[in-house]
Structures are given as C-alpha cells and as structure tokens.
Amino acid sequence: MKITIVTISFNQKQYLKACIDSILNQTGCELEYIIVDPGSTDGSRELISSYGDQIIKVFQTDQGPADGLNQGFARATGDIYGFINSDDYLLPGALSAVRQFFEQHGTNTFVTGQGFTEYADSQRKRVKPNVLTKQAMLYRSAVLFQQATFFSADSYKQAGGFNAENNTCWDYELYLKLLAQGATHAVIDQDLAVFRLYEGSISGSGRLKRLYLAELDQLFEQYMGRKRNLVDKGTTVYLRARRELARRMQISRS
C-alpha cells in the first residue's frame, strides 16, 4: 500500500527542511512525496531540488493553495493520500501507523491522528481531534487536525479533489465531501503530526479570519439549503459546550 504526501511550499525555507526530512525519514511504508512550489524566491526550490529523485517536483504557477494541491495530487500514484504544509511536520512512525489503519479498516474510512500545536517559542499544546460528522462540521463544533489526516485516493477522486475557489478552508470542504459521499471518519490514539503556529503564518496572523468565516457560511448554505441563522449559531454554542464537557469528563476519569 503506497502513501502519497503532497506539500505546498512558498517562501518558507526556514521550515522546509524539517518538513521534508520528517516525511522522507518515515519507515514502514511505501512512500511517494510530491512538493508543489509556484515560484519561491527564498531558496526553497534549490533546497527541494537538492533531494534529487526522492521528491517529485511541481514547479509551476497555481491559483492558490487548493489549486496547488490539486496539481500535486494529479501526479500521485499512491493508494492513500495526505498533505502537509511546508511549515508543519510529521512525527516518527506516522505513516506506518496510517498504513496499518487502512490495511485493517479499508479505504471507505478516512482517519486523523493526534499530535501537537507548536508555538514560536517551541512550546507545544496537545491536539485531540474528534470524530468528524456532517453535523459537527456544519455547526462548527468539530476539532480538525489536517496535518494528521489521511484518506484514500479513490475517495479523493470521487470527491473531485479540492475546490480551487475556496481560499481558506479547502481541507474542511474536502472532508465534508468525503462524509457526504458515504465515507466515515475515525480518530486513532497516536501522535502523527505537528502544526506550527506563529505570527507569520496564516492561522497565527488571523488575517483571513473574516473570509474563513464567510466561506464556512457558504458551505453551510450549500449543504443545508439555507442561510445560517441565530438558532444555528446557538446550536454551535451548545455543541461546543457539550464537546468540552465530554472532554473534561474523560480527563477526570483518566
């Protein structure tokens, strides 16, 4: 069972080597690694090229991150797909655990592992995602962890890949598509990845928050057939509170 990982890279050389090495150093699986770089000018392309044929290089312009991912996966030949940004990284043993999961559960389930958010001062906070459902996602009570999420090539192709017009939550939309076409989601109790959060990152800066919320509203309307209203917002508050209560109860029992 071959696993294809795609990384989208643009002018983040300071983090890129750690990302690349974290993937190429994975063991216990057949690996295909693709990096998409639409035009970095900070030496990223030279670094990528220094790895030779260990990496499939896609050096061409794109219309944004989602389009770049589509370009990368268009070259993919793996059975299982995952994607990770150039400033994030996988933990040792991650892909071996992913391979074992799909061998045991089949490819109509996509999976997320656990891991960490890493801050600029190198401090870490644990990420514990929950099982994704359409309700949890549409009502914004889901805890996603994209860096540790993997899905089958067949389900990705059936979903039509990423929506290149989605500028902020292309991963969110893809997972909704997977659920809508009948896939189930599972969470495994293993640390798979690290998400870096720092001032210069999109998530860390918050500069696209308004657009992100607007695109979530569009997804809600697309799947529910109506606009999000005050009752829906109240449902979000309730579901998040219920999730937090369940988390605290689990901690108290452990």
User: 108-132: b or e for each residue (b if 16 or more CB lie within 10 Å)?
Assistant: ebbbbbbbbbbeeeeeeeebebbeb
**Through-space distance between the first and last CA atoms of the chain, rounded to whole angstroms:** 36
pLDDT one-digit tens code per residue, 16-60: 999 999 999 999 999 999 999 999 999 999 999 999 999 999 999
Q: What ranges do the domains of the chain cover? A: 2-253
Rounded distance between C-alpha atoms, residue 248 and residue 2, angstroms:
38
> Which one has a higher pLDDT value, 254 or 61?
61
pLDDT one-digit tens code per residue, 90-109: 999 999 999 999 999 998 99
Whether residue 23 contacts residue 7, with contact meaning beta carbons closer than 8 Å, is answered with yes
Whether residue 53 contacts residue 18, with contact meaning beta carbons closer than 8 Å, is answered with no
Mean pLDDT, the chain, rounded, equals 93
pLDDT one-digit tens code per residue, 207-252: 578 999 999 999 999 999 999 999 999 999 999 998 888 777 776 7
Q: At what angle do helices 170-180 and 209-224 cross, to 10 degrees?
A: 20
Whether residue 89 contacts residue 12, with contact meaning beta carbons closer than 8 Å, is answered with no
* Exposed/middle/buried for residue 103 (C-beta within 10 Å: 0-12, 13-18, 19+): exposed
Mean pLDDT of 163-182: 95
Q: Using 50, 70 and 90 to split pLDDT, how confident is the model at 205?
A: very low
Mean pLDDT of 198-210: 63
Rounded distance between C-alpha atoms, residue 90 and residue 104, angstroms:
22
> Which one has a higher pLDDT value, 182 or 248?
182
Superfamily of 2-253 according to CATH = Spore Coat Polysaccharide Biosynthesis Protein SpsA; Chain A (3.90.550.10)
Q: Using 50, 70 and 90 to split pLDDT, how confident is the model at 200?
A: low
What's the pLDDT score for residue 247? Answer: 73
Q: Using 50, 70 and 90 to split pLDDT, how confident is the model at 201?
A: low
- pLDDT reading at 139 higher than 90: yes
Q: Using 50, 70 and 90 to split pLDDT, how confident is the model at 254?
A: low
Rounded distance between C-alpha atoms, residue 142 and residue 173, angstroms:
13
- Look up residue 224 and give its DSSP letter: H
Kindly state the percentage of the chain with pLDDT values over 70. 96
